[in-house]
Each structure stands twice: as structure tokens, then as C-alpha cells.
């Protein structure tokens, strides 16, 4: 069975952004305190290409079954294991007709 969608994990994205901020802070803290070579090594680390992969598998379904409207969404990150599940069911959608 294949996924309905693959996208970037919000948990991995937050960790990724923190790592970048930490490296930038290290650069700021090092200015004038380390050798030129050490400082350049930090600059080079910042310039490294970084890609956040699509590791979040999303599966979802919606429709009317047995007279009830439903939505079922779940996702799971293949890297960090973060997951989320949402389920909604409207018992009698015909009561809402206008």
C-alpha cells in the first residue's frame, strides 16, 4: 500500500532549524576569539548544502459510509518516529442540510 502523500516532518524541520541556529550562534560567539582557520571552518559548515527530505508519510481518507461523513488522517515520520492521528465523524450529515 502506498502513501497518499510524502512531505517534510514538522518535528524534523524544527530540529533542523535549531541546528542551523546553533551553528550561527557558534559563529557569532567565535568571532574574534578563535583563529582565522577555525572561524573559516565554522563558516564553511554553515555554507554546506542541507536538504530536509520528505520523510513524513501521510495517509488520509474521507467520504460517506453508512450514512456518516468521516475524515481519517494519519502521518508518521520515517526518520524520527513522530506521528499524528486525527479522526472525525459526523453521525448524521443529513440533519445539516439546508
- How distant, in Å, are the alpha carbons of 17, 46, 53, 56 from that of 20? 5, 7, 16, 21
Tally the domains of the chain: 1
Q: How many whole angstroms from its chain centre is CA 2?
A: 19
Residue span of the structural domain in which 37 resides: 5-96
Tens of pLDDT, residue by residue over 48-88, are 888 899 999 999 999 998 888 999 999 999 999 999 999 99
| pTM of the predicted model as reported, rounded to 2 decimal places | 0.72
- How distant, in Å, are the alpha carbons of 26, 33, 42, 45, 64 from that of 38? 11, 10, 7, 11, 62
Is 76 in contact with 56 (CB distance < 8 Å)?
yes
Cell of 92: 448524521
Amino acid at each position: 500500500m502506498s502513501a497518499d502523500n510524502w512531505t517534510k516532518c514538522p518535528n524534523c524541520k524544527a530540529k533542523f532549524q535549531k541546528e542551523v541556529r546553533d551553528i550561527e550562534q557558534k559563529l557569532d560567539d567565535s568571532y574574534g576569539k578563535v583563529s582565522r582557520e577555525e572561524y573559516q571552518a565554522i563558516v564553511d559548515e554553515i555554507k554546506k548544502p542541507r536538504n530536509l527530505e520528505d520523510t513524513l508519510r501521510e495517509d488520509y481518507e474521507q467520504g460517506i459510509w453508512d450514512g456518516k461523513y468521516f475524515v481519517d488522517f494519519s502521518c508518521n515520520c520515517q526518520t524520527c518516529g513522530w506521528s499524528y492521528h486525527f479522526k472525525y465523524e459526523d453521525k448524521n450529515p443529513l440533519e445539516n442540510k439546508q
